[in-house]
Amino acid sequence: MITAEMVKELREKTGAGMMECKKALEASNGDMEKAIVFLRERGMAAAQKKASRAANEGLIASYIHAGGKIGVLVEVNCETDFVARNDDFKELAKDIAMQIAAVKPLYVKREDVPEDVLAKEKEIYLTQAKNSGKPEKVWDKIVEGKLESFYQEVCLYEQPFIKDPKMKIKDLIAQAVGKIGENIQVKRFVRFQIGE
């Protein structure tokens, strides 16, 4: 059974159209990796990506802190080279690099947290809930709350912005998208710290 969620996930991964994704999933019996290969072989993923608003431009921002003891490189993407040279975009990238240096996220978005890491965290939180003495009917809520806190700690997009803690990084990016008028994404980052 091919679900709408599966089609959506494949579309997000490849940029191919909905119908092409559905056909690819049907042809590969719902196997996501085989469906990606199916699309690539037909060149649809590449063609759709060019047609959609792909964020393939951007810049690598760097930030060095604490007398050269902490360093960050972050890739922030936008749609055009023109925007990549824009001062507002450069400032956003620098702020994001500074955020990473200060708060040490491990992942860009919550979707990037591996399933095994999530399962382990949920297991720990459930044990804590059971040991809390609170009734069983609230255990799921406790786990959910602790999971949200975990995301805020380890996912860049979920973290409160160091310059304005009322705003999350994803809100800061959304604000920049509204101002600049292009799709903006943090693609990846690396953080170095002496002695780690």
DSSP string over 54-87? ---EEEEEEEEETTTTEEEEEEEEES-HHHHT-H
Please state, in angstroms and rounded to a whole number, the distance separating the CA atoms of residues 183 and 54: 8
- The domain spans of the chain are 4-51, 57-109+155-193, 114-153
Please state, in angstroms and rounded to a whole number, the distance separating the CA atoms of residues 109 and 113: 7
Contact in structure between 121 and 143 (CB atoms under 8 Å): no
The mean of the pLDDT values for the chain is 86
pLDDT value for 65:
87
Total Cβ atoms within 10 A of residue 163: 11
For 146-175, how does the pLDDT look when each residue is reduced to its tens digit (9 = 90+)?
999 999 999 999 999 999 999 999 988 888
If you average pLDDT over residues 12-23, what whole number do you get?
A: 76
Task: Using the predicted structure, report yes or no on whether residue 184 has a pLDDT greater than 80.
Answer: yes
Write the CATH number of the domain with boundaries 57-109+155-193: 3.30.479.20
Q: Where are the alpha helices (DSSP H) in the chain?
A: 4-14, 18-27, 32-42, 44-51, 81-84, 87-103, 115-131, 139-154, 169-180
pLDDT value for 21:
84
Question: Which tokens belong to 138?
Answer: 């609230």
Nearest to 106 by CA among 157, 179, 57, 164: 157
Please state, in angstroms and rounded to a whole number, the distance separating the CA atoms of residues 63 and 57: 20
pTM metric for this prediction: 0.68
| β-bridge partners, 66 | none
CATH architecture, domain defined by 4-51: Orthogonal Bundle (1.10)
If you average pLDDT over residues 88-108, what whole number do you get?
A: 95
